[in-house]
Structure formats: structure tokens, C-alpha cells
Amino acid sequence: MTRSFTALVVTYNSEATILGCLLSLAECGPNHQVVVIDNASTDRTLARIEGAGIKCEIIRNKKNAGFSVACNQGLAKASHEFTLFLNPDAVLLPDSAGTLLSFLVANPDYVGAGPYIHGDDGTVQRACARRHLSLWSATCQLLWLDQLWRHSRLFSRRYYQPFDYDRPVQVECISGAAMMCRTDGVRTVGGFDETVPLYLDDIDLCRKLGRVGKIGFVPTARVEHVHNVSGRQIGDRAVRSLSLEASYVYLRKHAGVMAAVTYRGIVLLASVQAWIAAMLMYAGHRYATASRLYVRASCFLIWVVSGAGSTRHSLGSEARPDSSLPSLARRSSAEAGLPK
């Protein structure tokens, strides 16, 4: 019996990338179900889909329900044994969906599998195989310890050090930009947690899936992902605020209130660090760098002062940035995989 899958694509103002995504799914053959969940796009996303005559089901939300909510809406429609979550700015390379499908069929103890993901420049996106977020890994990122010691197993713990991207292996987390899961497995763990904000919603799902099965990185499956398309639309300040909020909520959920409070204090320390670095760069006439550091410092400080945990996180989609962002943009990336 030929195995098939359901593909879920959440869109929000995705007209620039959606056709490439859906055409790559169409090349997988006619036996697969494709569901597009549109979070009230205000551009020509739906018109482009309909104009191209691509076969798919469309759920039209009257408001921006958020990425996690939209994924759960699509999950309720999934009619196949396997479900592929795919970003609208991601393109499946030939045979990649079939490779992920074959991996899961051949390994019944695995509940999810993710491909090798690269940008349009060919550079690997390390989020395709990573660890769960912890207070320590978040601290190392905020204080630039992971940048000073990029290959350190101690300080660069968001990712595996070292990691062979040519070898299939069990990991803790894969990227929500492209992940194939057993439909029943995702339903068993309750789907996406709609209280976890953008940027860590996929890590949270992987954490839950890891309790019922294994998660695999399958490098022979390839996906090209134009990273953070919507993030560019909403601006650096809003993206930083959302990243901080996601880490705070995730740590509060999985590590406890004290870890979340400690994280808030570390963000404040990172703000001071960035202020000092900005002044040093300014004194050295490196004005562009000083300006970027100033933005980082001010965003961090605003987030702490405004009250951690209060940022809205009703998310849209497209590389899973939030579409409910006008207020955040006016006010002003936490990524969190050891092979076995």
C-alpha cells in the first residue's frame, strides 16, 4: 500500500513565497492532502494560490489566529498517517518528502523526522538539528558566550558540538519550518501548545513528541528555506521582543518560575553589556556597530521594564513570525538537539 501524507502550510501575507512552496508539494504526487490555513492575509496570498490552480484545501481565518492555533486547525483536517508541517517560505527539494516518509515507515519508534535545511545561499540552518532550550543555553546566547566559543560543548549548547550534517541521527529538536510527524503522535501530545509563543513553538512540540517516541534528523531530505521572511517585514525590534518573550514563557513552562525570573535578570544584564559595548564601538568610530548594539540594549531593557510575560504572542506565520505585531513594533532569537 502506498503511504501518503497531509501537508499543512500556515500563511500570512505570504504571496512572495507561497507558490514555490505549494508547487514543490505538488511535485510529490496527487495522493497527498495539502491544507493551507490562512491567517487573514491582507495581500494577494489567496489570489495567487487560486490563480495558479493548485489543488489544496484552504481554511480562511477571519482574524490572525496565530501559528500554533492554525497548525492545530489543520491537524484536525489531516486524513493521512503522516503530517508534514511546512513553512510557506520553504521549498521541498525533489524526493525529500518521500525520504522523510520512508524514514518514518522504516523506523516505527520514531515519531518525527526533519530534513537538512539550508538558505537560498546554500548555508545550513543549524536549527534543523538542535537541543532543547535551557536557562544555561539562553544565558550563553544572551551574553555572547556562544559567539566567543562557537565550538564549545559548554558554551554553545543550543546546537550539537560537533555535528555531522551528513549522517542521519536522533536529535532532541528539529525545525518547524519543515518537519514530518506521525499524525496520531502529534494528536496524542495535544498538538501545538497555543500558549507558547513563536520561535519556540516547534521546540516545545518536539519536547512533547520526545516523550512518546524518537525524533530523527534525515540529511538526505533537503529543504530550501528563506529564513525569517516576515521577521524582515516587522523589524528587528519586534523580532527581538518576541524572541525574549518566547524564551521566558518556555522556561517558565518547562523549568519553573525561578528559571523564568532568573532569565529576566540575565536579559537585564545583557542589556547593560550591550550598552557598554555600544559606547566602546562609538568611541572607536564604529558607528554602524554601535547603532546595532544600541538597538539590542534598548530592546532588552524595554522588554524587562514593560513586564516579562506580558508581550502578546498571537502569531501569524511565515518562518513563524508573529503577525499581530503593530503594537510590538511601536514598543520597540532565541533558538534553543545530542546524537544517540
pLDDT > 90? residue 267: yes
Answer yes or no: is pLDDT of 236 > 90. Answer: no
pTM comes to 0.87
Whole-angstrom CA distances from 116 to 91, 147, 218, 276 are 12, 23, 7, 38
| pLDDT at residue number 199 | 84
- Dihedral pair phi/psi, residue 58, rounded to 5°: -125, 125
Q: Which residues does residue 113 pair with via DSSP β-bridges, in sequence order?
A: 180, 216
Q: How far apart are CA 179 and CA 175, in angstroms?
A: 6
CATH number for the domain running over 5-129+165-227:
3.90.550.10
| Residue 226 pLDDT level (bands cut at 50, 70, 90) | confident
What pLDDT does 237 receive? 81
Give residue 49's identity as a one-letter amino acid code.
Answer: I
Nearest to 169 by CA among 215, 106, 101, 104: 215
**Rounded CA separation 79/77 (Å):** 6
pLDDT of 281: 97
pLDDT at 279: 97
Q: Tell me the pLDDT band of 190, cut-offs 50, 70 and 90.
A: very high
State percent of the chain over pLDDT 70: 87
What share of the chain has pLDDT > 90, as a percent?
A: 78
Mean pLDDT over 152-157 rounds to 90
According to the model, what pLDDT value does residue 307 have? Answer: 75
Counts of helices then strands in the chain (DSSP H, E): 13, 9
pLDDT in tens, 309-326: 655 444 444 444 433 333
Q: Is there a contact between 128 and 208 (Cβ–Cβ < 8 Å)?
A: no
The set of cell numbers assigned to 57 is: 484545501
Instruction: Answer whether 140's CB lies under 8 Å from 336's CB.
Output: no
pLDDT at 48: 96
The neighbouring-strand residues paired with 179 are: 85
Cα(136)–Cα(78) distance, integer angstroms: 37
> Over 90: is that where the pLDDT of 73 sits?
yes
Average pLDDT, the chain: 88
For residue 319, with 0-12 CB atoms within 10 Å meaning exposed, 13-18 middle and 19 or more buried, which class applies?
Answer: buried
Question: Domain ranges in the chain?
Answer: 5-129+165-227, 232-331
Q: What is the pLDDT of residue 312?
A: 46
